[in-house]
Amino acid sequence: KQEVTQIPAALSVPEGENLVLNCSFTDSAIYNLQWFRQDPGKGLTSLLLIQSSQREQTSGRLNASLDKSSGRSTLYIAASQPGDSATYLCAALDYGQNFVFGPGTRLSVLP
Amino acid sequence: NAGVMQNPRHLVRRRGQEARLRCSPMKGHSHVYWYRQLPEEGLKFMVYLQKENIIDESGMPKERFSAEFPKEGPSILRIQQVVRGDSAAYFCASSPLGSRATNEKLFFGSGTQLSVL
């Protein structure tokens, strides 16, 4: 059974710092891995999707990498801003046709 | 192109009543997923439906919970005889291709916050 974990559970950084969020999955048999952002009381917004054959994807200040063999993905946020404060979740699409979510990392960027 | 629409946004029920949560997927999407989120917890998969079919309901409790996605109209998540433990945010997501595609992507609604008094 696929399990997805994320560390750290919470992170607080000053504005302008570069930071890395980590996502680990136990079963490397995945179709893709997707990173989401969730603001308090809101739904999830898709940030980046990395297909199983890809190593990384970039969008603006965000870069996500995928290492299937080690069961890891990272989300790199460059030059963080207060508006980046949110909970970040990763989800692995496994061969069982399920999107399995991690518990999320709660990010606070302090002005 | 409207996004995934969920209603109501907030739903208050007393113990023993029924709760009906609605989800209209994005235009052109025929795959719907329901998730439940408790405070400070991640999203827990409940059920995956395609038009008129339940594909995977392994995350949904066997009793009191049911889901449907008819040929016409929104997907409905129905909770009968609600209890306080059902209080949570329920999110619906839709996708265009069905989850076997490697570029399959989920699009989420804003959720329904269910409160059971």
pLDDT at B102 over 80: no
Q: Are strands A19-25 and A4-7 parallel, antiparallel or unpaired?
A: antiparallel
Give per-residue pLDDT as tens, B6-53: 999 999 999 999 999 999 999 988 899 999 998 777 789 999 999 889
**Interface-testing mutation among B24, B31, B43, with chain A (most A C-beta atoms within 10 A):** B43
DSSP per residue over A10-23, as a string?
A: EEEEETT--EEEEE
| Pair B16, B82: CB distance under 8 Å | yes
Query: What pLDDT does residue A6 have?
Result: 95
Contact A52 B110 (CB under 8 A): no
From B35, B101, B107, residue closest to A46, measured CB to CB: B107
Query: CA of B12 to nearest chain A CA: how many angstroms apart?
Result: 16
Query: What pLDDT does residue B98 have?
Result: 66
Q: Which residues contact A54 (CB under 8 A, 6 or more apart)?
A: A66
pLDDT at A2 over 80: yes
From A41, A49, A89, residue closest to B43, measured CB to CB: A89
pLDDT at B1 over 60: no
Query: CA of B72 to nearest chain A CA: how many angstroms apart?
Result: 24
Give per-residue pLDDT as tens, A35-71: 999 998 888 999 999 999 999 999 999 999 999 999 9
Residue B100: pLDDT band (50, 70, 90) is low
Contact B110 A43 (CB under 8 A): yes
Mean pLDDT of chain A: 93
d(CA A110, CA A36): 21
> Chain B partners of A5 at a C-beta cutoff of 8 Å?
none
